[in-house]
Structure 1
Amino acid sequence: MTLTVAVLIPAHNEEATIAELVHACLDQPYPVAQLIVVADSCTDRTAEAARQAGATLVLETDFKDKAANQNAALPHITADVIVGFDGDSRPEPDCISLMVADLENGYDATCSSILPLQKTGFFIEARRFAYSLGSQWWRLCQRQIGRLQVLTGASYAFRTDVVRAAGGFPNGLISADMDITWKLHEGGYKTWYTSQATTLTIDPATWKEYQAQMPRWAAGYFQNVARYRRLMLNWRSLLTVGTAMFDLVTLWWWVIVVVYNLATWQHLSMFKYMGYWFAAHTALTTYLVSRVVGWKKAALGFGPYTILNFYNKYLYTQAMFREWLLGRHYASWTGRSGRRTVITPMTARRRMALGLIATLAGAATATTGAVFHSTPLLGAGALAAVALPLALLPWRGTGKRRSTPHNPQPAEVAAEAVSVPVGT
């Protein structure tokens, strides 16, 4: 039995791209039974452009939340499969049919490969290299053990009954795509990665855009790992997340080793072996990327990818300490939509606990310094010991987390979303 498909497109101010996306979906060789666009908080002609392009149904909402908008469309979906695309994406021919074929083979959810829609640029070349490397290595490894870190929201296919059984698209975290992925893992559903299918998407082309997107991705990663931490007891989940954390930590370990050896001028022979390792790493990754985009693009992208990799690792390290240690959570972000970034304050209880820990550690360090007559240890310990009084100061902010975006239930959707079928 052929599975029927409903294409779901959440969009915010995508007037420039939504019509091309609708046409690209309707022109796919696989028949599309429904095409629903959810225009969220739009101040342009996104909704009108979607209707004119041939969308089956357009919902206009004001949720400012991707998951809530996807849930708003759920009551209207009658097809067997939900195929989702971001409003600034464009599926390549056969993208839908390839993803649906994997669902017909017994999987509950899958996603396609992603490549930048733009042709060139420093950030575009870096992102193209990263996407291509992921499609030839990271995602294939995760697929093999049955634990994808994220079913990319730019292009996915879910069985409709599975989404409904999971309670809809979960929200409340800054990264909705990873949230639904791990929600499916939690429910024991089978996920896949359709590597042959490809979707092009508009990626950050400037430093300002890149700087706005990456902190959200980093924060969303650690928010999701915290929410689904019980799943880390499963070896598949632990292997997937553990290797990512190992990659994050080892980069800084190598930086520390290199800086220390250069500062002390010791163990210089290690740089010879590091050179061999770097050459082998460069050759392998460039080869893998060349299988997707060719040798020229692979060579152009290696430099930008390597440079930005350090910045990305810095952002992920910063997000890990902010989300897990300080308890300050990304609650909204500033992207192309221009919304204000909101990071919740630290709670008074956490400030007190961290201050107390720092004070005890400082006292222990100062005592050690006094016993062994070490002025640096004594000074460092005394400095740390003042953390408790500072933590007890009346800092601004209640420490309460901002209320999560409203996740409408089917009965509420009619009152909160204005549905306008084509032809009205």
Structure 2
Amino acid sequence: MTGLTIAVLIPAHNEETTIGELVQACLDQPYPVEQLIVVADSCNDRTAQVARDAGATLVLETNFADKAANQNHALPYVTADVIVGFDGDSRPEPSCISLMVADIARGYDATCSSILPIQRTGFFIEARRFAYSLGSQWWRLCQRQVGRLQVLTGASYAFRTDVVRAVGGFPNGLISADMDITWKLHEGGYKTWYTADALTLTIDPETWAEYTAQMPRWAAGYFQNVLRYRRLMWNWRSLLTVGTAMFDLVTLWWWLVVVIYNLTTWQHLSMFRYMGYWFAGHTALTMYLVSRVVGWKKALIGFAPYTLLNFYNKYLYTRSMFREWLLGRHYAAWTGRSGRKTVITPMTPSRRFGLGCAGAIAGTATAIWGGYLGSSLLWTTGMAASCLIPLAMIRISGSGQRRATPSSLTIAAPPAGGHATRELPTAEALDPETTLQLATRR
């Protein structure tokens, strides 16, 4: 035992089928749980009652429809040294809490565990299991070594309570709250870690509809966070972590362009031999890393689903990058299991005007250059761009509505003996340039 007291915090939405098992799994951990707080948010099932029956010390019922807001609502009730958080559809394996708290006791301010799907098999499950395993043996270990985790997994984490309070609580306003709090800690100079040996199982998408509902939010949330914390990219650690992720994103498209060009022109065909060597080496290394987590059989089964979905994932991230950064259309709400309609904010008039003007200028310059070189292709392309891009900017008005966000979020005071009521900044206060509504984390 480390001597640190812990409070388990579980934000949940319609989790009556899993919340009881999760609460019991936390209480059965060898590390003593001083508080177990469940925040049942916008539930229309028996989540709250099941949590009480399972042994939760405090159940709060809210209607925020926002993960960060629910965590902040529970924050004043926390009296323990460490907040250990789990999603309502997850389940920690034995010693998960002990291992994470041990790293906190070693001097780290926050950490998270490894994640694997709780389901046994399925196309999307095998792909996600492969991805989680690869990340735990490569990306996360590299990021841990550099000192810049891209995200402290929201499904299973441990934060020092005083550190969460010091940064103003769990930040909200972005579609991905987990990455938001991670970079908020980086911004404050706090030390993050990754407890690789700790493991939590979580329910992952099993159908195409579920998968395609979750992944766009993850992709949009990534670029929203990089944009919000862009000033941190001047730090070499941040630049290395994000830069390698961006390099991995663009490399796939670069390879496709090269392959298509060579096949079309029937030139440089010898490069395919070297590409084969590279692919074989990459596959062998990847399979070895994954097999260290789930064994060779699961690694072999998951390789094809992971590889196929990787193309789709890269497409989503590329699309989100252009939409979030270039068009300024932000993913503000998602469907999830709550059934809410996906909301993407419209482009602002000033951005449409600016992009239209930039397109017209670039198109005109291309046409002039084409005329100078005597290239009808460049001239035609430039003229088309100078006309069509401004017209496209006029048409793109976006779908969805902006929803007013209060200037601050008031956290209710707990019973006598708790912490005093205080106000936490919301998205508008934290980042005036961000026009997102409160993020829906379901």
TM band (smaller chain): over 0.9
Equivalent positions of 1:157-306 (< 5 A) are 157-306=158-307
Change (3 A) 1:396 1:372: closer
1:156-204 deviation line (CA, Å, top 9, x unaligned): 0000000000100000000000000000000000000000000000000
Structure 1 counterpart of 2:236, which letter?
A: W
1:110 correspondence with 2:116: no
Change (3 A) 1:27 1:322: same
The answer to whether the Cα contact below 8 Å between 1:40 and 1:63 also exists between their aligned partners in 2 is: yes
Distance (Å, rounded) in 1 between the aligned partners of 2:241 and 2:12: 31
Change (3 A) 1:103 1:274: same
1:96-131 deviation line (CA, Å, top 9, x unaligned): 000000000000000000000000001000000000
- The match for 2:411 is 410
State the 1:215 CA deviation: 0.3
State the 1:402 CA deviation: 3.6
Distance (Å, rounded) in 1 between the aligned partners of 2:121 and 2:100: 28
- The match for 1:331 is 332
- Give me the TM-score of the superposition, normalised by structure 1: 0.95
* Unmatched 5+ stretches in structure 1: 416-424
The answer to whether the Cα contact below 8 Å between 1:331 and 1:402 also exists between their aligned partners in 2 is: no
Distance (Å, rounded) in 1 between the aligned partners of 2:61 and 2:211: 28
- The match for 2:431 is none
Structure 1 counterpart of 2:349, which letter?
A: A
Structure 1 counterpart of 2:188, which letter?
A: G
- The match for 1:422 is none
1:355-391 deviation line (CA, Å, top 9, x unaligned): 0000001101111122222221111111111146526
- The match for 2:341 is 340
Distance (Å, rounded) in 1 between the aligned partners of 2:354 and 2:141: 42
Change (3 A) 1:405 1:111: farther
- The match for 1:28 is 29
* Unmatched 5+ stretches in structure 2: 416-420, 422-442
Q: Percent identity?
A: 78
SS in 1 for 2:366: helix
- Give me the TM-score of the superposition, normalised by structure 2: 0.91
- The match for 1:386 is 387
The answer to whether the Cα contact below 8 Å between 2:343 and 2:400 also exists between their aligned partners in 1 is: no
State the 1:398 CA deviation: 11
For these two proteins, the number of residue pairs brought into alignment is: 415
Change (3 A) 1:14 1:411: closer
Change (3 A) 1:30 1:133: same
The answer to whether the Cα contact below 8 Å between 1:346 and 1:399 also exists between their aligned partners in 2 is: no
1:73 correspondence with 2:82: no
Structure 2 counterpart of 1:286, which letter?
A: M
The answer to whether the Cα contact below 8 Å between 1:151 and 1:181 also exists between their aligned partners in 2 is: yes
